Amino acid sequence: MSETRHHYAIRLEWTGNRGEGTAHYRTYTRDHVITSAGKPTIAGSADPAFRGDPARWNPEEMLLASLSACHQLWYLHLCAVAGVVVTAYEDAAEGEMLEAKDGGGEFVRAVLRPKVTIAGTSDPEKAMALHHEAHAKCFIARSVRFPVECEARIVLGE
C-alpha cells in the first residue's frame, strides 16, 4: 500500500516586543500571529496562566480545537458514505494539562463531546458507531500521545 505525504506550512511571528525584547520577564507580551497563504490571521498568545492575553487563542486551545475539528470532519465524511444524514453537529471539548514542577507540562487527556443531530430516517446506532471509526481515523488523535475520549450524543431529528 502506498502512502501519500502531505506538507503543511505556517508562519509564526512574535509581536510582543515592547521595545526591550525579552530583557525582563514581565516587560514583553506573549502575543504572536500565525499566518498561512490566503487564510485569515490567527491572533495567538499564551494561556493567561502564563502571562498571555485571554482574548487571543493559546496553543492549548488550538490543540483541542484541532482534535475536535479533525474528529468532526472524519465523522461527517463517514456519515455521508454510510447514508447517515447529519443535520447539526456541535462539540463541547475539554482538555487537561498537567504542569510539572520544572515548568514544563503535557496534556494528559482530552474529551470530545459531540452532540449530533441526524435526520429521522437515519439509524441512530449506526450514527453512534461511526464515532468510533472517526476516532480511529482522525489524523490529529492518532498523532498525540495522550488519550482522546469521545462521549458522543445522538439526537434524532425530524
Phi, psi (degrees; rounded to nearest 5) at 130: -65, -20
The grid cell for 40 is 485569515
* Average pLDDT of the residues of the chain: 95
Span 39-85, pLDDT tens digits: 999 999 999 999 999 999 999 999 999 999 999 999 999 999 999 99
Place of cell 447514508: 83
**H or E element: which one contains 42?**
strand 42-44
Place of cell 458522543: 152
User: pTM value?
Assistant: 0.91
75 and 114 in contact (C-beta within 8 Å)? yes
Give me the CATH topology for the region 59-156.
Answer: GMP Synthetase; Chain A, domain 3 (3.30.300)
Non-local (6+) Cβ contacts of 8 within 8 A are: none
Break the chain into its structural domains and give their ranges.
11-50, 59-156
pLDDT of residue 1: 63
- C-alpha 145: how far from its chain's center? 15
